[in-house]
Structure 1
Amino acid sequence: MAILPIVMHPDPILEKECEKVTEFDKKLKKLLNNMYDTMIEADGVGLAAPQIGVDLQVAIVDIGDETGTIELINPVIIENDGTDTDLEGCLSFPGLYGEVTRSSSIKVRTFNRKGKLVEFQAKGFLARAIQHEIDHLHGVLFTTKIEKYITEEDLEGYEVK
């Protein structure tokens, strides 16, 4: 396992449409394992391949609940419902936080590490984290969606109004 350096904005890979995964091999498995270790080490809830300098549609999400780790390979949101505004941050933008509105419920179609197509529903914070990571795979940064910036000092007693 390896902890990989996280790419910081304004690295151009963060704003690039990533390539689709075509080979479900040992390299992909190793990438997913290293991404997981890197995300945990960075105290994140999600990490996309471009954030470690890899031009592939691969992301992982683990919000620390019973769902466990979700691996997203060439993911597509096929349904979405409702909206919810909440606080977001990003490992590629340390110390930067803001309110972002996203769908409150989504249905995702993605491949797992074995190349099997899977579909699942996500709601609430899990849906938010997945949408944030999928955006990364298409070069869309959360800073383009922030409606209100929140300073680190304001985080302590933060609540969406």
Structure 2
Amino acid sequence: MALRNILTQGDEQLLKHSRKVEKFDARLHTLIDDMRETLENSGGVGLAAPQVGVLRRVVVLLDINKDPEEVVELVNPEVIEQRGEQRIVEGCLSVPGVYGYVTRPTWAKIRAQDRDGNWFEREGEGVVAQCFCHETEHLDGHLFTEKVEEYVDMDELQRGDEEEDAE
């Protein structure tokens, strides 16, 4: 396994549409393993293959609703159902230091293949639903900044939270 470099905004690779995975082989397994390690090292909750310069429809994400947290591998994922609405602060490993309010579903169901090509469906709530949507948008060449309704200064937001806690 190896850490991969995470591309940042301004890199043209991030704006390209990823190709469907057709071969479920050792090369794909290496990509997924490297993405897992890169995600775990990044402090983020999701990573799409285009963010590491590979234009394939592959995502790894943390299901933080599980105890312990579970790394989920998604090949050729598509969001097939979503419900509810939440306005949340979002960021992205490819847009470091930038945060903004985005409206996402409170619940989503995704259909994907595992590393061996087997199809499955998975549901997620809250941050996991948000991650399903955010990461699959990367596969189509979109960044969350296209959806930002209002940018946020995280330092200011955290100071506000600390003041609320002190009261």
Q: Which bin holds the TM-score, normalised by the shorter protein?
A: over 0.9
Does structure 1 conserve the Cα–Cα contact (< 8 Å) formed by 2:63 and 2:72? no
SS of the counterpart of 2:51? helix
TM (norm. structure 1) is: 0.94
1:130, distance to aligned residue in structure 2 (A)? 1.5
Q: What does residue range 13-92 of structure 1 map to in structure 2 within 5 Å? A: 13-66=13-66, 68-92=70-94
1:98-154 residue CA offsets vs partner (Å, 9 max, x unmatched):
010011111111000010000111111111011111110011110000011011322
Does structure 2 conserve the Cα–Cα contact (< 8 Å) formed by 1:59 and 1:71? yes
Q: Distance in 2 between matches of 1:89 and 1:116?
A: 31
1:65, distance to aligned residue in structure 2 (A)? 4.2
Instruction: Show structure 2 runs of 5+ residues with no match.
Output: 162-167
Q: How many corresponding residue pairs?
A: 159
2:164 — aligned with what? none
The 4+ residue runs of structure 1 with deviation greater than 6 A are: none
Q: Distance in 1 between matches of 2:136 and 2:16?
A: 12
Instruction: Show structure 1 runs of 5+ residues with no match.
Output: none
2:106 — aligned with what? 104
1:126 — aligned with what? 128
SS of the counterpart of 2:24? coil
SS of the counterpart of 1:50? helix
Tell me the amino acid that sits aligned with residue 80 of structure 2: I
Q: Pairwise CA RMSD of aligned residues?
A: 1.4
1:16-71 residue CA offsets vs partner (Å, 9 max, x unmatched):
11000000011111100100111111111100000000010001101444251111
Q: Distance in 1 between matches of 2:109 and 2:14?
A: 25
Does structure 2 conserve the Cα–Cα contact (< 8 Å) formed by 1:46 and 1:63? no
1:140 — aligned with what? 142
Does structure 1 conserve the Cα–Cα contact (< 8 Å) formed by 2:111 and 2:121? yes
Q: Distance in 1 between matches of 2:157 and 2:33?
A: 31
Q: Distance in 1 between matches of 2:9 and 2:63?
A: 23
Does structure 1 conserve the Cα–Cα contact (< 8 Å) formed by 2:75 and 2:113? yes
2:116 — aligned with what? 114
Q: Distance in 1 between matches of 2:8 and 2:57?
A: 18
Does structure 1 conserve the Cα–Cα contact (< 8 Å) formed by 2:4 and 2:34? yes
